């Protein structure tokens, strides 16, 4: 199990660039979350509040708040009198449950979102997809993979946010479904990126037509694709034809 100094060395502040997001706590939260999903912080790593505060050159208060947020996502655990640790990735059965929960939640949100979607929303989602499509993984693949995941999260967040239901939005933000799933998919991401973008395109096409049944079916299939990669069955013949 890594000690605080080892974690600090692994995530040297001088070698990291924190994404531009709303607040200091958000920046630290996003940076730690991505480091866990990338495998940069391995399961069992001790997340010392003091060491992290020194690394980010901040007080312990934003570190505590960021770790508390991570705790709700189950990406970290907390042990009494020991502190915070990077959690183990989901088992296959836990992953199945995660996929089922995410399908139920996002499809329900989509049924509300489709009532509010505008041409501008469709254009924004297509723009996110185009940004994902243009990423060149041959250069800085780890960095590009992180950007790809952030764009993918933004796409799915848009689907939920269009519902205009503040509780759906909070659930999506708290549970971080997308990033928890990618912990298991990091090794296959570059094999899935083209397929995911094609599936996004199909979902947006159905949303533009306001075809809620077709959009729901396509979204469910899209989310379940990750499960097939995790359990080793990979893409279906129909999905392979899209790649």
Q: Where are the domains of the chain?
A: 4-86, 92-242
Coil, strand, or helix at residue 76?
strand
For the chain, residues with pLDDT lower than 70 are 1-22, 182-191, 232-243
Do 200 and 97 contact (CB within 8 A), yes or no? no
Give pLDDT, residue 183. 65
Closest CA to 118 of 75, 85, 161: 161
Q: How far is CA 15 from the centre of its chain?
A: 22
Give pLDDT, residue 13. 45
Interval 5-52: pLDDT, tens: 555 555 544 444 444 445 899 999 999 998 888 888 989 999 999 999
Specify the residue for token string 């999260």. 153
Give pLDDT, residue 243. 45
State which fold the 4-86 domain adopts: Arc Repressor Mutant, subunit A (1.10.10)
Query: In the structure encoding, which two tokens stand for residue 188, read together?
Result: 């296959």
Report whether CATH 1.20.120.530 matches the domain 92-242.
yes
Do 48 and 4 contact (CB within 8 A), yes or no? yes
Give pLDDT, residue 147. 87
Interval 162-177: pLDDT, tens: 999 999 999 888 777 7
Question: Residues 159, 162, 166, CA angle at the centre, nearest 5°?
Answer: 110
């Amino acid at each position: 199990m890594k000690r605080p100094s080892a974690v600090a060395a692994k995530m040297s502040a001088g070698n990291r660039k924190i994404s531009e997001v709303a607040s200091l706590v958000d920046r630290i939260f996003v940076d730690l979350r991505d480091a866990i999903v990338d495998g940069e912080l391995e399961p069992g790593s001790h997340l010392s509040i003091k060491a992290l505060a020194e690394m980010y050159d901040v007080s312990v208060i934003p570190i505590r708040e960021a770790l508390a947020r991570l705790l709700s996502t189950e990406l970290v655990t907390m042990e009494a009198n020991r502190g915070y640790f990077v959690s183990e990735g989901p088992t296959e059965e836990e992953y199945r449950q995660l996929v089922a929960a995410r399908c139920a939640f996002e499809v329900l949100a989509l049924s509300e979102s489709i009532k509010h979607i505008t041409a501008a929303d469709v254009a924004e989602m297509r723009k996110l997809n185009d940004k994902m499509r243009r990423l060149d993984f041959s250069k800085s693949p780890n960095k590009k993979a992180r950007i790809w995941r952030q764009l993918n999260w933004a796409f799915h967040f848009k689907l939920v946010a269009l519902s205009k239901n503040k509780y759906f939005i909070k659930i999506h933000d708290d549970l971080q479904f997308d990033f928890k799933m990618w912990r298991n998919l990091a090794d296959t991401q570059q094999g899935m990126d083209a397929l995911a973008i094609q599936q996004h395109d199909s979902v947006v096409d159905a949303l533009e037509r306001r075809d809620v049944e077709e959009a729901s079916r396509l979204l469910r299939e899209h989310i379940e694709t990750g499960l097939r990669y995790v359990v080793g069955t990979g893409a279906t013949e129909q999905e392979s034809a899209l790649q």
